[in-house]
Structure 1
Amino acid sequence: MLWISGCRPSSYFRLLYAISGKEFESHLNNYLQGKRTGHFSELSSLQLNSVDELQRKTIRLENQLSNKLASLQEEIADHPFAIIANEVGDLDEMYGEAEKTLDRHAKSLMNVVEEADKLRMEILKELVMNILSPLQAVNFLPASKKLHLCINAWGKTRDQQHGRNRETADREPHVQLHLEK
Protein backbone atom coordinates (compact mmCIF):
# COMPACT_ATOMS: atom_id res chain seq x y z
CA MET A 1 0.00 0.00 0.00
CA LEU A 2 2.88 2.40 0.75
CA TRP A 3 4.72 3.51 -2.34
CA ILE A 4 7.03 6.36 -3.38
CA SER A 5 6.16 8.98 -0.74
CA GLY A 6 2.50 8.05 -0.41
CA CYS A 7 -0.22 5.59 -1.31
CA ARG A 8 -0.13 3.50 -4.42
CA PRO A 9 -2.61 4.95 -6.92
CA SER A 10 -3.98 1.41 -7.31
CA SER A 11 -5.14 1.60 -3.68
CA TYR A 12 -7.97 3.84 -4.91
CA PHE A 13 -9.42 0.85 -6.73
CA ARG A 14 -9.22 -1.40 -3.68
CA LEU A 15 -10.96 1.33 -1.70
CA LEU A 16 -13.65 1.69 -4.36
CA TYR A 17 -14.31 -2.06 -4.42
CA ALA A 18 -14.32 -2.27 -0.61
CA ILE A 19 -16.86 0.55 -0.31
CA SER A 20 -18.96 -0.93 -3.10
CA GLY A 21 -19.06 -4.35 -1.43
CA LYS A 22 -19.87 -2.90 1.97
CA GLU A 23 -22.70 -0.78 0.56
CA PHE A 24 -24.08 -3.71 -1.39
CA GLU A 25 -24.35 -5.77 1.78
CA SER A 26 -25.92 -2.96 3.78
CA HIS A 27 -28.47 -2.09 1.07
CA LEU A 28 -29.30 -5.62 -0.05
CA ASN A 29 -32.94 -5.40 1.09
CA ASN A 30 -33.42 -2.18 -0.87
CA TYR A 31 -32.01 -3.78 -4.02
CA LEU A 32 -34.26 -6.79 -3.66
CA GLN A 33 -37.21 -4.40 -3.47
CA GLY A 34 -36.02 -2.57 -6.60
CA LYS A 35 -34.98 0.63 -4.81
CA ARG A 36 -31.88 2.39 -6.13
CA THR A 37 -29.74 4.95 -4.34
CA GLY A 38 -27.00 5.74 -6.87
CA HIS A 39 -24.20 4.78 -4.48
CA PHE A 40 -21.10 2.68 -5.14
CA SER A 41 -22.96 -0.58 -4.96
CA GLU A 42 -24.75 0.46 -8.14
CA LEU A 43 -21.74 0.88 -10.39
CA SER A 44 -22.87 0.35 -13.98
CA SER A 45 -21.20 -2.12 -16.33
CA LEU A 46 -19.73 0.85 -18.23
CA GLN A 47 -18.30 2.24 -14.98
CA LEU A 48 -16.90 -1.17 -14.00
CA ASN A 49 -15.24 -1.56 -17.41
CA SER A 50 -13.76 1.94 -17.13
CA VAL A 51 -12.51 1.23 -13.61
CA ASP A 52 -10.95 -2.06 -14.76
CA GLU A 53 -9.22 -0.38 -17.71
CA LEU A 54 -7.92 2.46 -15.54
CA GLN A 55 -6.74 -0.01 -12.90
CA ARG A 56 -4.72 -2.00 -15.45
CA LYS A 57 -3.19 1.22 -16.82
CA THR A 58 -2.41 2.40 -13.28
CA ILE A 59 -0.63 -0.83 -12.33
CA ARG A 60 1.45 -0.67 -15.52
CA LEU A 61 2.46 2.95 -14.75
CA GLU A 62 3.19 2.10 -11.09
CA ASN A 63 5.49 -0.71 -12.23
CA GLN A 64 7.31 1.63 -14.62
CA LEU A 65 7.91 4.16 -11.84
CA SER A 66 8.95 1.43 -9.39
CA ASN A 67 11.49 0.12 -11.92
CA LYS A 68 12.76 3.65 -12.53
CA LEU A 69 13.20 4.17 -8.77
CA ALA A 70 14.99 0.83 -8.37
CA SER A 71 17.41 1.71 -11.18
CA LEU A 72 18.13 5.10 -9.61
CA GLN A 73 18.76 3.52 -6.23
CA GLU A 74 21.21 1.05 -7.77
CA GLU A 75 23.00 3.87 -9.59
CA ILE A 76 23.18 5.90 -6.38
CA ALA A 77 24.73 2.98 -4.54
CA ASP A 78 27.27 2.24 -7.26
CA HIS A 79 28.31 5.61 -8.64
CA PRO A 80 30.11 7.25 -5.67
CA PHE A 81 31.99 4.03 -5.02
CA ALA A 82 33.14 3.91 -8.62
CA ILE A 83 34.44 7.49 -8.37
CA ILE A 84 36.32 6.72 -5.16
CA ALA A 85 37.63 3.40 -6.48
CA ASN A 86 39.01 5.05 -9.63
CA GLU A 87 40.79 7.65 -7.49
CA VAL A 88 40.62 10.22 -10.26
CA GLY A 89 42.92 13.11 -9.36
CA ASP A 90 43.29 14.46 -5.88
CA LEU A 91 40.84 14.18 -3.01
CA ASP A 92 39.23 17.57 -3.69
CA GLU A 93 38.49 16.48 -7.24
CA MET A 94 37.04 13.16 -6.02
CA TYR A 95 34.91 14.97 -3.45
CA GLY A 96 33.67 17.41 -6.09
CA GLU A 97 32.79 14.59 -8.49
CA ALA A 98 31.01 12.60 -5.78
CA GLU A 99 29.07 15.71 -4.70
CA LYS A 100 27.97 16.47 -8.29
CA THR A 101 26.90 12.87 -8.81
CA LEU A 102 24.91 12.73 -5.58
CA ASP A 103 23.23 16.06 -6.39
CA ARG A 104 22.28 14.77 -9.83
CA HIS A 105 20.85 11.60 -8.30
CA ALA A 106 18.91 13.59 -5.69
CA LYS A 107 17.30 15.60 -8.49
CA SER A 108 16.45 12.40 -10.33
CA LEU A 109 14.86 10.95 -7.19
CA MET A 110 12.81 14.12 -6.72
CA ASN A 111 11.61 13.78 -10.31
CA VAL A 112 10.40 10.25 -9.57
CA VAL A 113 8.58 11.46 -6.43
CA GLU A 114 6.96 14.24 -8.48
CA GLU A 115 5.94 11.72 -11.16
CA ALA A 116 4.38 9.51 -8.46
CA ASP A 117 2.44 12.48 -7.04
CA LYS A 118 1.29 13.41 -10.53
CA LEU A 119 0.15 9.84 -11.19
CA ARG A 120 -1.83 9.76 -7.93
CA MET A 121 -3.59 13.00 -8.89
CA GLU A 122 -4.26 11.91 -12.48
CA ILE A 123 -5.81 8.62 -11.39
CA LEU A 124 -7.93 10.23 -8.69
CA LYS A 125 -9.07 12.92 -11.12
CA GLU A 126 -9.95 10.33 -13.78
CA LEU A 127 -11.99 8.32 -11.27
CA VAL A 128 -13.82 11.31 -9.81
CA MET A 129 -14.34 13.40 -12.94
CA ASN A 130 -14.85 10.79 -15.66
CA ILE A 131 -15.97 7.48 -14.18
CA LEU A 132 -17.95 7.97 -10.97
CA SER A 133 -21.28 9.73 -10.83
CA PRO A 134 -21.32 13.05 -8.93
CA LEU A 135 -22.92 11.35 -5.90
CA GLN A 136 -20.37 8.54 -5.98
CA ALA A 137 -17.53 11.05 -6.33
CA VAL A 138 -18.78 13.09 -3.37
CA ASN A 139 -18.75 9.93 -1.25
CA PHE A 140 -15.44 8.64 -2.61
CA LEU A 141 -13.32 11.75 -2.01
CA PRO A 142 -13.70 11.81 1.80
CA ALA A 143 -13.04 8.06 1.94
CA SER A 144 -9.85 8.45 -0.10
CA LYS A 145 -8.74 11.36 2.10
CA LYS A 146 -9.46 9.28 5.21
CA LEU A 147 -7.34 6.46 3.77
CA HIS A 148 -4.50 8.91 3.10
CA LEU A 149 -4.71 10.35 6.64
CA CYS A 150 -4.84 6.88 8.23
CA ILE A 151 -1.75 5.74 6.34
CA ASN A 152 0.03 8.97 7.25
CA ALA A 153 -0.87 8.53 10.95
CA TRP A 154 0.25 4.88 10.80
CA GLY A 155 3.60 5.97 9.35
CA LYS A 156 4.10 8.57 12.07
CA THR A 157 3.23 6.03 14.77
CA ARG A 158 5.71 3.54 13.29
CA ASP A 159 8.40 6.21 13.19
CA GLN A 160 7.79 7.07 16.85
CA GLN A 161 7.84 3.38 17.84
CA HIS A 162 11.22 3.04 16.18
CA GLY A 163 12.56 6.26 17.65
CA ARG A 164 12.32 8.18 14.39
CA ASN A 165 10.34 11.35 14.73
CA ARG A 166 10.78 14.87 13.43
CA GLU A 167 12.46 16.10 16.64
CA THR A 168 15.07 13.35 16.74
CA ALA A 169 15.59 13.51 12.99
CA ASP A 170 16.46 17.20 13.27
CA ARG A 171 18.94 16.53 16.10
CA GLU A 172 20.62 13.54 14.48
CA PRO A 173 23.74 14.30 12.50
CA HIS A 174 23.27 13.95 8.77
CA VAL A 175 25.64 11.64 6.97
CA GLN A 176 27.88 13.55 4.59
CA LEU A 177 30.74 12.48 2.44
CA HIS A 178 33.95 14.02 3.79
CA LEU A 179 37.22 13.17 2.16
CA GLU A 180 40.30 14.31 4.00
CA LYS A 181 43.47 15.41 2.27
Structure 2
Amino acid sequence: MESPYISSYEQWIRSQESDLRDLTTAAAEATSDVELQGRVDRSLRLYEEYAARRRALAAADGPTFFCPPWCSAFENAVLWMGGCRPTLAIRLLYSLSGLDLEARLDDFLRGLVHAPRGGLMALSARQINLVNELHCRTLREEDRLSARLATLHEDVADAPLLPLVIKDVRTSASAPGSPSAGGGGNAAAAAAADGGRGWSGEEAAAAAMESYAGRLAGLVEEGDRLRVATVRALTTEILRPQQAVELLVAAKQLHLTVHDWGRRRDLHRVSV
Protein backbone atom coordinates (compact mmCIF):
# COMPACT_ATOMS: atom_id res chain seq x y z
CA MET A 1 0.00 0.00 0.00
CA GLU A 2 1.34 3.42 -0.94
CA SER A 3 2.30 5.75 1.88
CA PRO A 4 -0.34 8.44 2.57
CA TYR A 5 2.52 10.95 2.64
CA ILE A 6 3.69 10.07 -0.86
CA SER A 7 0.16 9.82 -2.28
CA SER A 8 -0.71 13.24 -0.82
CA TYR A 9 2.35 14.78 -2.44
CA GLU A 10 1.70 13.10 -5.79
CA GLN A 11 -1.86 14.42 -5.67
CA TRP A 12 -0.42 17.88 -4.99
CA ILE A 13 1.92 17.62 -7.99
CA ARG A 14 -0.98 16.65 -10.25
CA SER A 15 -3.06 19.56 -8.97
CA GLN A 16 -0.11 21.91 -9.57
CA GLU A 17 0.23 20.71 -13.16
CA SER A 18 -3.50 21.19 -13.76
CA ASP A 19 -3.53 24.58 -12.05
CA LEU A 20 -0.53 25.70 -14.09
CA ARG A 21 -2.37 24.91 -17.32
CA ASP A 22 -5.45 26.79 -16.14
CA LEU A 23 -3.46 29.82 -14.99
CA THR A 24 -1.48 29.93 -18.23
CA THR A 25 -4.71 29.88 -20.22
CA ALA A 26 -6.22 32.57 -18.01
CA ALA A 27 -3.16 34.80 -18.41
CA ALA A 28 -3.50 34.60 -22.18
CA GLU A 29 -7.28 34.65 -22.61
CA ALA A 30 -8.96 36.24 -19.58
CA THR A 31 -10.90 39.36 -20.46
CA SER A 32 -11.34 40.93 -17.02
CA ASP A 33 -9.65 41.35 -13.65
CA VAL A 34 -12.62 39.61 -12.03
CA GLU A 35 -11.96 36.48 -14.07
CA LEU A 36 -8.24 36.58 -13.30
CA GLN A 37 -8.87 37.13 -9.59
CA GLY A 38 -11.13 34.09 -9.59
CA ARG A 39 -8.25 32.00 -10.92
CA VAL A 40 -5.92 33.41 -8.27
CA ASP A 41 -8.43 32.62 -5.50
CA ARG A 42 -8.84 29.05 -6.74
CA SER A 43 -5.07 28.57 -6.78
CA LEU A 44 -4.80 29.86 -3.21
CA ARG A 45 -7.57 27.50 -2.07
CA LEU A 46 -5.62 24.56 -3.49
CA TYR A 47 -2.56 25.71 -1.54
CA GLU A 48 -4.55 26.05 1.69
CA GLU A 49 -6.18 22.63 1.24
CA TYR A 50 -2.77 21.04 0.74
CA ALA A 51 -1.44 22.79 3.85
CA ALA A 52 -4.37 21.35 5.83
CA ARG A 53 -3.56 17.82 4.61
CA ARG A 54 0.10 18.33 5.49
CA ARG A 55 -0.87 19.52 8.97
CA ALA A 56 -2.78 16.29 9.63
CA LEU A 57 0.05 14.13 8.28
CA ALA A 58 2.73 16.05 10.17
CA ALA A 59 0.85 15.52 13.43
CA ALA A 60 1.39 11.78 12.92
CA ASP A 61 5.05 12.03 11.87
CA GLY A 62 6.63 15.48 11.87
CA PRO A 63 10.25 14.38 11.20
CA THR A 64 9.29 12.89 7.81
CA PHE A 65 8.71 16.39 6.43
CA PHE A 66 12.30 17.44 7.14
CA CYS A 67 13.74 14.81 4.77
CA PRO A 68 10.74 13.66 2.73
CA PRO A 69 11.17 10.55 0.56
CA TRP A 70 8.87 12.08 -2.06
CA CYS A 71 11.42 14.81 -2.83
CA SER A 72 14.75 14.50 -4.61
CA ALA A 73 18.06 14.85 -2.78
CA PHE A 74 18.49 18.31 -4.30
CA GLU A 75 15.06 19.43 -3.11
CA ASN A 76 15.69 18.07 0.38
CA ALA A 77 18.97 20.01 0.54
CA VAL A 78 17.15 23.33 0.17
CA LEU A 79 14.06 22.63 2.28
CA TRP A 80 13.08 24.98 5.09
CA MET A 81 10.57 23.72 7.68
CA GLY A 82 9.48 20.98 5.29
CA GLY A 83 8.98 23.24 2.27
CA CYS A 84 10.32 26.26 0.44
CA ARG A 85 11.28 29.43 2.24
CA PRO A 86 8.36 31.88 2.26
CA THR A 87 10.68 34.64 1.02
CA LEU A 88 11.35 32.58 -2.11
CA ALA A 89 8.09 33.93 -3.55
CA ILE A 90 9.32 37.47 -2.96
CA ARG A 91 12.73 36.74 -4.48
CA LEU A 92 10.95 35.31 -7.50
CA LEU A 93 8.87 38.47 -7.80
CA TYR A 94 12.02 40.61 -7.69
CA SER A 95 13.52 38.49 -10.47
CA LEU A 96 10.43 38.74 -12.64
CA SER A 97 10.27 42.50 -12.15
CA GLY A 98 13.90 43.15 -13.07
CA LEU A 99 16.99 41.11 -12.33
CA ASP A 100 18.76 43.96 -10.56
CA LEU A 101 15.80 45.32 -8.59
CA GLU A 102 16.58 43.64 -5.28
CA ALA A 103 20.24 44.64 -5.37
CA ARG A 104 19.26 48.30 -5.93
CA LEU A 105 16.18 48.29 -3.69
CA ASP A 106 17.70 50.55 -1.02
CA ASP A 107 18.62 53.14 -3.65
CA PHE A 108 15.11 53.00 -5.10
CA LEU A 109 13.48 53.47 -1.71
CA ARG A 110 15.66 56.54 -1.14
CA GLY A 111 14.59 57.91 -4.54
CA LEU A 112 18.06 57.55 -6.10
CA VAL A 113 16.89 55.33 -8.95
CA HIS A 114 13.58 54.77 -10.71
CA ALA A 115 11.60 51.55 -10.77
CA PRO A 116 12.64 49.28 -13.65
CA ARG A 117 10.40 49.19 -16.68
CA GLY A 118 9.74 46.49 -19.21
CA GLY A 119 10.06 43.45 -16.92
CA LEU A 120 7.49 40.68 -16.88
CA MET A 121 5.71 42.63 -14.15
CA ALA A 122 6.42 46.36 -13.96
CA LEU A 123 5.76 47.23 -10.33
CA SER A 124 4.64 50.67 -9.23
CA ALA A 125 6.51 52.59 -6.54
CA ARG A 126 3.73 51.84 -4.05
CA GLN A 127 3.86 48.13 -4.86
CA ILE A 128 7.62 47.99 -4.42
CA ASN A 129 7.33 49.64 -1.01
CA LEU A 130 4.65 47.14 0.03
CA VAL A 131 6.74 44.21 -1.21
CA ASN A 132 9.75 45.48 0.71
CA GLU A 133 7.69 45.76 3.92
CA LEU A 134 6.33 42.23 3.42
CA HIS A 135 9.86 40.97 2.75
CA CYS A 136 11.15 42.43 6.01
CA ARG A 137 8.24 41.01 8.04
CA THR A 138 8.60 37.58 6.46
CA LEU A 139 12.35 37.50 7.05
CA ARG A 140 11.77 38.22 10.74
CA GLU A 141 9.29 35.35 10.96
CA GLU A 142 11.68 33.03 9.13
CA ASP A 143 14.44 33.93 11.56
CA ARG A 144 12.14 33.31 14.53
CA LEU A 145 11.21 29.82 13.31
CA SER A 146 14.82 29.03 12.35
CA ALA A 147 15.91 29.93 15.89
CA ARG A 148 13.31 27.56 17.32
CA LEU A 149 14.55 24.76 15.08
CA ALA A 150 18.14 25.45 16.15
CA THR A 151 17.07 25.21 19.80
CA LEU A 152 15.35 21.91 19.07
CA HIS A 153 18.55 20.59 17.46
CA GLU A 154 20.55 21.56 20.53
CA ASP A 155 17.97 20.05 22.89
CA VAL A 156 18.87 16.60 21.57
CA ALA A 157 21.89 16.81 23.91
CA ASP A 158 19.64 17.53 26.91
CA ALA A 159 16.57 16.10 28.67
CA PRO A 160 14.62 14.03 27.90
CA LEU A 161 16.89 12.18 25.45
CA LEU A 162 20.27 12.41 27.19
CA PRO A 163 19.17 10.74 30.48
CA LEU A 164 17.70 7.90 28.42
CA VAL A 165 20.97 7.45 26.54
CA ILE A 166 22.88 7.37 29.84
CA LYS A 167 20.40 4.86 31.24
CA ASP A 168 20.70 2.66 28.15
CA VAL A 169 24.51 2.71 28.25
CA ARG A 170 24.57 1.87 31.95
CA THR A 171 22.02 -0.90 31.52
CA SER A 172 24.11 -2.44 28.75
CA ALA A 173 27.24 -2.12 30.84
CA SER A 174 25.64 -3.88 33.83
CA ALA A 175 24.20 -6.76 31.81
CA PRO A 176 25.46 -10.26 32.75
CA GLY A 177 28.81 -10.86 31.16
CA SER A 178 29.57 -7.17 30.74
CA PRO A 179 32.97 -6.04 32.08
CA SER A 180 31.12 -3.33 34.04
CA ALA A 181 28.40 -5.58 35.49
CA GLY A 182 27.51 -4.85 39.08
CA GLY A 183 27.85 -1.06 38.85
CA GLY A 184 25.29 1.01 40.78
CA GLY A 185 23.24 4.06 39.92
CA ASN A 186 20.97 2.49 37.30
CA ALA A 187 17.78 2.90 39.34
CA ALA A 188 18.40 6.62 39.77
CA ALA A 189 19.18 7.04 36.08
CA ALA A 190 16.01 5.17 35.10
CA ALA A 191 13.86 7.31 37.37
CA ALA A 192 15.38 10.50 35.98
CA ALA A 193 14.93 9.32 32.41
CA ASP A 194 11.22 8.57 32.55
CA GLY A 195 10.17 11.16 35.08
CA GLY A 196 9.36 8.50 37.67
CA ARG A 197 6.60 6.94 35.53
CA GLY A 198 8.04 3.47 35.74
CA TRP A 199 8.26 3.07 31.98
CA SER A 200 10.49 0.52 30.32
CA GLY A 201 13.53 1.85 28.49
CA GLU A 202 11.83 1.45 25.11
CA GLU A 203 8.65 3.19 26.29
CA ALA A 204 10.57 6.13 27.70
CA ALA A 205 12.69 6.44 24.55
CA ALA A 206 9.59 6.33 22.33
CA ALA A 207 7.90 9.02 24.43
CA ALA A 208 10.99 11.24 24.26
CA MET A 209 11.25 10.87 20.49
CA GLU A 210 7.55 11.66 20.11
CA SER A 211 7.96 14.85 22.12
CA TYR A 212 10.56 16.03 19.60
CA ALA A 213 8.44 14.82 16.67
CA GLY A 214 5.52 16.88 17.96
CA ARG A 215 7.64 20.01 18.11
CA LEU A 216 8.85 19.38 14.55
CA ALA A 217 5.24 18.97 13.41
CA GLY A 218 4.46 22.33 14.97
CA LEU A 219 7.29 23.94 13.01
CA VAL A 220 6.01 22.43 9.75
CA GLU A 221 2.55 23.83 10.49
CA GLU A 222 3.90 27.30 11.28
CA GLY A 223 6.14 27.20 8.21
CA ASP A 224 3.17 26.31 6.00
CA ARG A 225 1.10 29.06 7.58
CA LEU A 226 3.82 31.60 6.79
CA ARG A 227 4.22 30.29 3.23
CA VAL A 228 0.49 30.59 2.55
CA ALA A 229 0.23 34.00 4.21
CA THR A 230 3.14 35.38 2.17
CA VAL A 231 1.75 34.20 -1.17
CA ARG A 232 -1.74 35.42 -0.22
CA ALA A 233 -0.42 38.87 0.72
CA LEU A 234 1.47 39.14 -2.57
CA THR A 235 -1.33 37.95 -4.81
CA THR A 236 -4.36 39.56 -3.16
CA GLU A 237 -3.05 42.65 -1.36
CA ILE A 238 -0.13 43.94 -3.43
CA LEU A 239 -0.26 42.70 -7.02
CA ARG A 240 -2.91 43.35 -9.63
CA PRO A 241 -4.77 40.21 -10.82
CA GLN A 242 -2.71 39.92 -14.03
CA GLN A 243 0.52 40.28 -12.06
CA ALA A 244 -0.66 37.74 -9.49
CA VAL A 245 -1.43 35.19 -12.20
CA GLU A 246 2.00 35.71 -13.76
CA LEU A 247 3.71 35.22 -10.39
CA LEU A 248 1.76 32.03 -9.67
CA VAL A 249 2.57 30.67 -13.13
CA ALA A 250 6.28 31.32 -12.60
CA ALA A 251 6.23 29.83 -9.09
CA LYS A 252 4.56 26.63 -10.27
CA GLN A 253 6.89 26.34 -13.26
CA LEU A 254 9.87 26.70 -10.94
CA HIS A 255 8.54 24.13 -8.47
CA LEU A 256 7.59 21.52 -11.07
CA THR A 257 10.77 21.94 -13.12
CA VAL A 258 13.12 21.72 -10.13
CA HIS A 259 11.20 18.65 -8.90
CA ASP A 260 11.58 17.00 -12.32
CA TRP A 261 15.27 17.90 -12.64
CA GLY A 262 15.94 16.63 -9.11
CA ARG A 263 14.30 13.28 -9.85
CA ARG A 264 16.30 12.94 -13.08
CA ARG A 265 19.51 13.73 -11.19
CA ASP A 266 18.75 11.04 -8.60
CA LEU A 267 17.99 8.46 -11.30
CA HIS A 268 21.21 9.32 -13.12
CA ARG A 269 23.30 8.96 -9.96
CA VAL A 270 21.73 5.58 -9.18
CA SER A 271 22.40 4.31 -12.71
CA VAL A 272 26.04 5.41 -12.77
Distance 1:65 1:154 in 2: 29
Equivalent in 131, 135, 141 of residue 55 of structure 1: 135
Count of residues in correspondence between the two structures? 150
- Report the Cα distance in structure 2 between the residues aligned to 1:155 and 1:70, rounded to whole angstroms: 27
3-state SS in 1 of match to 2:156: helix
- The answer to whether the Cα contact below 8 Å between 2:87 and 2:139 also exists between their aligned partners in 1 is yes
Of 150, 161, 168, the match for 1:70 = 150
- The code of the aligned residue for 1:118 comes to R
Matched, 1:109 2:216: yes
Q: 1:152 — aligned with what?
A: 259
TM, length-normalised to structure 1 = 0.71
Q: Deviations over 1:135-170 (max 9, x none)?
A: 10111111111222233334444554665xxxxxxx
Instruction: Please say if 1:94 is aligned against 2:174.
Output: no
1:143 aligns with 2:269: no
**Alignment partner of 2:89 out of 9, 12, 36:** 12
Conserved 8 A contact 1:76-1:102:
no
The AA in structure 1 aligned to 2:229 is E
> Is structure 2 residue 79 aligned with structure 1 residue 2?
yes
Cα-to-partner distance string for 1:64-121 (whole Å, 9 max, x where unaligned)? 1111112112223544232231531599623222111111111110110111111100
Counterpart in the other structure of 1:46? 126
TM-score (ref. length: structure 2): 0.49
Change (3 A) 1:3 1:154: farther
CA shift digits 1:36-59 (9 cap, x unpaired): 98951x211110000000000111
1:134 equivalent among 213, 237, 241: 241
SS in 2 for 1:88: helix
- Report the identity percentage: 39
State the structure with more CA Rg. 2
Structure 2, unaligned stretches of length 5 or more? 1-77, 102-116, 168-188
Query: 1:21 Cα shift?
Result: 1.2
In structure 1, list runs of 5 or more residues that go unmatched.
25-35, 164-181
Instruction: Give the alignment's Cα RMSD to 1 decimal.
Output: 2.8
Q: 2:161 aligns with which of 58, 72, 80?
A: 80
